[in-house]
């Protein structure tokens, strides 16, 4: 799978357990950083949460190799599916110099109108920007 977006992430000391492994709960923070940077690049702005935005409906993370305090990592992000009101995003945490991921996360995000507190159809302008960045999704 090809990823057009990559974000280097600094591992902090408090991300790790006593064996210097990144704690499994911290991976979600890394994916959040990658997701926010992805949308900032693709949409041209940071997602706002007082109007039309995206909310997480489902998250799944598979772990393959540990990440250590001394590792340099990046989060790679892409949208794989664009539905009517939702999209699926795949992200992976990869060590510098390696191709095989340490962890892979799949997230389903729903377009949500914060003002009216309901799901909405993904705007056409969002679809156009995503498809331009990813190639046809």
Sequence-distant (≥ 6) Cβ neighbours of residue 9 within 8 angstroms: 30, 33, 34, 73, 74, 75, 93
Q: In angstroms, rounded to a whole number, what is the distance separating the alpha carbons of residues 71 and 137?
A: 32
Q: What is the pLDDT of residues 35-51, one digit of tens each?
A: 999 999 999 887 776 78
Indicate whether 18 belongs to any domain. yes
Q: How many domains does the chain have?
A: 1
Indicate whether 134 belongs to any domain. no
pLDDT > 90 in the chain, percent? 91
Indicate whether 108 belongs to any domain. yes
Indicate whether 91 belongs to any domain. yes
Indicate whether 133 belongs to any domain. no
CATH number at residue 15: 3.10.129.10
Range of the domain at 63: 5-125
Indicate whether 132 belongs to any domain. no
Indicate whether 33 belongs to any domain. yes
Q: What is the pLDDT of residues 90-108, one digit of tens each?
A: 999 999 999 999 999 999 9
């Amino acid at each position: 799978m090809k990823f057009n977006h990559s974000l280097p992430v600094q591992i902090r000391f408090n991300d790790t357990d006593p064996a210097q492994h990144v704690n499994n709960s911290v991976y979600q923070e890394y994916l959040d950083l990658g997701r926010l940077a992805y949308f900032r690049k693709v949409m041209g702005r940071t997602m706002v949460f007082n109007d039309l935005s995206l909310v997480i409906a489902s998250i799944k993370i598979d772990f393959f190799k540990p990440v250590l305090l001394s590792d340099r990592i990046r989060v790679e992000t892409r949208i794989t599916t664009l539905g009517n009101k939702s999209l699926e995003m795949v992200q992976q945490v990869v060590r510098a110099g390696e191709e095989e991921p340490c962890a892979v996360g799949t997230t389903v995000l729903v377009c949500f109108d914060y003002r009216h507190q309901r799901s909405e159809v993904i705007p056409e302008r969002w679809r156009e920007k995503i498809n331009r960045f990813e190639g046809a999704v």
